Amino acid sequence: MSTQAVAVDRAGMGPSRNGSRSSAFNQRSPSLFRSRTQDGAIHPSISRNTDMTRSSLDPERPDPPRPPSPPPREENAPPPADEVTHSRLAAHYSGLVLASMIGTLIRLGLDALATYDGMVIYSLAWSQGVGCGIMGLALARKNDIVSIYPPLYTFLTTGIAGSVTTFSSWMLDGYLSFSNFDKYNRKGLHDTVDGLAYSFSTFAIALACISLGAHMASIFPPLPRPSHQDSDISLSKEQQDPVDPPPKSPTRRTLTGNTPFLDISIICTAALAYLAALLLYFLAPASWRHRATFAILLGPPGTILRFALARLNTHPAFLDRFPLGTFLANIIATLVISGVYAAQRRPEVIGHSTTCNALYAIQQGFCGCLSTVSTFAVEARAIKGWRWKWFYIGGSVVLGHVLVLAIVGGIGWSEGYADVCQG
């Protein structure tokens, strides 16, 4: 077999004995096939991008140590359900419950710490920066984290980083800057400058802190990783026989199995933490329990909904182009937070402490965890092609501001607002 034929077969387009795979792949990626027939080789940049996308979509699969040949497009999807046990799947979701509670507390604490007279920068910038820094560090150490315990990677990225950052509050505060909602003594052009500065600085902070987190990961010593002898044996066999690589990855089986104790521990810890927050809501001092614990209780549903919507990102029509799941999560959260913000300033809500606390909890808990800036920034960097990249970024930000304008601005201009309710 010639060198060109071996390269073609390793890319998932085998010669005559695997013709069905070859024809299916050529129909899906005609441009890739044409480039192969013209210069006789697959471009390594295409291989690296495809494998990075597949690895980033699956928290159970570590990043490969070397760029392999591009797999068929269907292999970019998450693993089938039968490859992950029920206890492992429950551990992923339980970790999200615990992480969203911790992330909400971090965001509320940073907001309280960074709110003071004469502050140089808005308080939400700290939450966006810290969350994106955690995301960058976890992405850079994905191999180490997954080799220790795969739900830990979901806990840090989707859970902690996604819950500390919030896209919906960015849209709301951006509109308040554009509209001069607080009636500062300035002119219309100053409102535009203030709104643009808010949005540009938020996105710049997100991108910079992701890079900072990755840089910090390179400074820290490597985490201890278990040895995977089966994976090494499989890799050596693939190098000896590149035409017929093994169909299944033993690395995934090694990482997903033999951890029932850890899975059950995560499930029990999340359940006890949520029960403790529920008890604190009724038994803790009234001076702080409603504003803190109510938001903690409503955070997990938002994170789990965002995690479920993320499955739409792997649809072939949107893969590497437009992360539909993240887009829907951010837009839904923006719609909800706009309605909640308007309801908090209605005369009929003032004087009802329970209703006011519930609205605040929906804003800080559910909407704050449903929307995310850390994932949004990572996806914006990973999308292929500048046209799709700016379509996703601009479409999300512009549509988010328009929705807040329609809801908050429309109700305010037609009926007016009272002072914000106090729980």
**Which tens digits make up the pLDDT trace of 379-399?**
999 998 899 999 999 999 999
According to the model, what pLDDT value does residue 245 have?
Answer: 46
According to the model, what pLDDT value does residue 402 have?
Answer: 96
Residue 401 pLDDT > 50 = yes
Residue 161 pLDDT > 70 = yes
According to the model, what pLDDT value does residue 234 have?
Answer: 41
Residue 206: φ, ψ to 5°: -60, -50
Between 155 and 4, the more confident residue is: 155
Model confidence band, residue 42 (pLDDT cutoffs 50, 70, 90): very low
Between 270 and 62, the more confident residue is: 270
Model confidence band, residue 320 (pLDDT cutoffs 50, 70, 90): confident
Q: What is the mean pLDDT of residues 260-272?
A: 93
How far apart CA 68 and CA 71 sit, in angstroms, is 9
Q: What is the mean pLDDT of residues 272-280?
A: 94
Model confidence band, residue 283 (pLDDT cutoffs 50, 70, 90): confident
How far apart CA 277 and CA 358 sit, in angstroms, is 15
**Which tens digits make up the pLDDT trace of 43-52?**
444 444 444 4
What does pLDDT average to over the chain? 78
Q: What is the mean pLDDT of residues 252-262?
A: 61
Model confidence band, residue 226 (pLDDT cutoffs 50, 70, 90): low
Residue 2 pLDDT > 50 = no
Cα dihedral across residues 181, 186, 192, 193: positive or negative: negative
Residue 256 pLDDT > 50 = no
Task: Please give the model's pTM, rounded to 2 decimal places.
Answer: 0.74
According to the model, what pLDDT value does residue 80 have?
Answer: 40
**Which tens digits make up the pLDDT trace of 119-138?**
899 999 999 999 999 999 99
Work out the percent of the chain whose per-residue pLDDT is above 90: 50
According to the model, what pLDDT value does residue 255 have?
Answer: 46
Lowest-confidence range among 50-59, 142-151, 199-208? Answer: 50-59
Model confidence band, residue 65 (pLDDT cutoffs 50, 70, 90): low
Model confidence band, residue 258 (pLDDT cutoffs 50, 70, 90): low
